A and B are shown apart, each in its own frame.
Chain A
Amino acid sequence: MIEFWLIPVVMMLVIVGLFPPIAGYIVLVERKVLADMQVRLGPMRVGPHGLLQPLADALKLLLKEDIIPRDSDKGIFYVAPILSMFTAFVAFGVVPFSEQFRIADVNVGLLVISALGSVGILGIVLGGWSSNSHYPLLGALRSSAQLVSYELAMGLGLVCGVMSAGTLSMVQIVRNQQTQGVWYVFDNWGAMAPAFLIFFIAAVAETNRSPFDLPEAESELVAGFHTEYSGFRWALYMLAEYGNIFVVSAVSVTLFWGGWLRPFPSVGWLEVPLNYGVPFLLFAGPGIASIVLLAPKLKYAPHRYGMLVVGGALTLVGAILLIPAVNAVAAAPFWFLLKVAFFLYVMIWFRGTFPRYRYDQLMDIGWKVLIPLGLGTIALNAVVGMI
């Protein structure tokens, strides 16, 4: 009984307690990466290299006045952001961070996630509708049409992956990839790769990210569906957005990229370089680099010491991951989070490089390109997978 509840309860508290700050840091990474792509520095003032910016943002949001417009439908206006955040967070409940680190392993995990995604649309639509104002209404209408269109393509991509996995349980999907000896994105002699691409493009559209961020197209709709939201209610929408981004990345990793498995999990001699070397280099490398290269350049003394502390902490984490007992437990979640981080980076990269689509182009991509392609990919995989 205790063994059954211990890890789920700890994971619940970790997710609810840690994801909001993590989302804050994803925002910081996004701002920094975008800044770098546009040859500027991004946040630099709050903490060394802006490292405390998320903290300042969170405090600001908590202290901001919560304004409810006079004309809005109060009840729905209150509930909509909570609904949005709730669906985004519950989806974490079936995401397996490793074989042990998960909240629930239900036999329809993948369906739970897509069902929650569909309910999540309601949060956006109701929020825009209940604002009773022009821009939010337009944003809500656009987003409802966009989200339902791309949900179809997303479902078609998922069906392909499920054909190889033969199960809907998120944990079992990864186990099957281990026993079959292939990450499903490489399955069926490459026929699965387009399925992943369809899924990922649709996932980017589902999370309202660039280049499909028309629901909040700021150049034409002010802020789209959340124009009237302020303070912490707005923050809930942002949390939901970053929660959704994390969840779709986690689904791509679980279904197509081997979940918590390291590359080549069946090749024994790679265990030491991959499970020990890569985490150590990834943590200690930047840690030492920030101590040696970044810290001495900072003029302001508290920033310099802060940078030294951050660098030291990163190096320490790298060193702790070298302890065999820790590594045995931490290697699997490390690989899972590394892959998820890669897809988060890809989404930020999209935002930095692609211009926004026009609305008719968006609907054309959804209905005239992705859906026929998705149907074709299912037929192709069905035939190739049998041979």
Chain B
Amino acid sequence: MLEGYLPLFVFLVLCIAFPLAALLVGKALRPSVFAPAKLESYECGIEAVGGARGRYSVRFYLVAILFVIFDVETVFLFPWAVRYKQLGWFGVAEALVFLGILVVGYVWAYKKGALEWV
């Protein structure tokens, strides 16, 4: 069973080697002329004010946490989905209970306003 993965690993190495090789070949071809203005961060042609490492909305953090919760739930569904036909109605009932709990959590997050984007 595991030897089925071997070509995948070989391909993995090839896929890392390809962009590296392409970048190295390009290095021999492309010009490299130093000019200090070229190395400035892009800011529509004027000098950038302040660094980029500032504050940003806490919403992004909230989305990340919600994602972790729901993604784990989705992953739990995969093993059941694979064995869905063998497990029969019992499995369906259990999955529906599981989805029900998930929906309760979802509704709670919705009511709390965690899904609102202002």
Q: Is the CB of A375 within 8 A of B96?
A: no
With the chains together, A267 CA to B26 CA distance in Å?
52
The bracket for how many chain B residues form the interface is: 35 or more
Given the interface pairs A148-B67, A231-B30, the reply to whether A371 lies near B39 with Cβ below 8 Å is no
Q: A-side binding surface: helix, strand, loop or mixed? A: helix
B contact residues around A167 at 8 Å (CB): 82
Q: Is the CB of A104 within 8 A of B42?
A: no
Q: Is the CB of A103 within 8 A of B8?
A: yes
A contact residues around B48 at 8 Å (CB): 133-134
Binds B, one of A21-29, A341-349, A376-384: A376-384
Number of A positions contacting B (CB below 8 A): 78
CB within 8 A of A93: which of B11, B53, B67, B102?
A: B11
Q: Is the CB of B84 within 8 A of A144?
A: no
With the chains together, A70 CA to B83 CA distance in Å?
54
A contact residues around B53 at 8 Å (CB): 132
Q: Which 10 A-B pairs have the closest CB atoms?
A: A133-B41, A8-B7, A155-B74, A70-B39, A148-B67, A104-B8, A162-B81, A360-B117, A363-B117, A89-B15
- From B6, B22, B32, name the one whose CB has the most chain A CB atoms within 10 angstroms: B22
Nearest CB in chain A to that of B64: its residue? A148
CB within 8 A of B41: which of A66, A93, A94, A131?
A: A131
Q: Is the CB of A82 within 8 A of B20?
A: yes
Q: Is the CB of B78 within 8 A of A151?
A: no
B contact residues around A367 at 8 Å (CB): 66, 115
Given the interface pairs A90-B11, A111-B78, A379-B96, the reply to whether A65 lies near B31 with Cβ below 8 Å is yes
- Contact of A37 with B by CB under 8 A: no
> Interface on B for A, CB 8 Å cutoff?
1, 3-8, 10-12, 14-16, 18-20, 22-23, 25-27, 29-33, 38-44, 48, 51-53, 56, 59-60, 63-64, 66-67, 70-71, 74-75, 77-78, 81-86, 88-89, 92, 95-96, 99, 102-103, 106, 110, 115, 117-118
> Interface on A for B, CB 8 Å cutoff?
4-5, 8-9, 12, 16, 62-72, 81-82, 85-86, 89-90, 92-94, 103-107, 111-112, 131-137, 141, 144-145, 148-149, 151-152, 155-156, 159-160, 162-163, 166-168, 222, 227-228, 231-233, 236, 359-360, 363-364, 367-368, 371-372, 375, 378-379, 382-383, 385-386
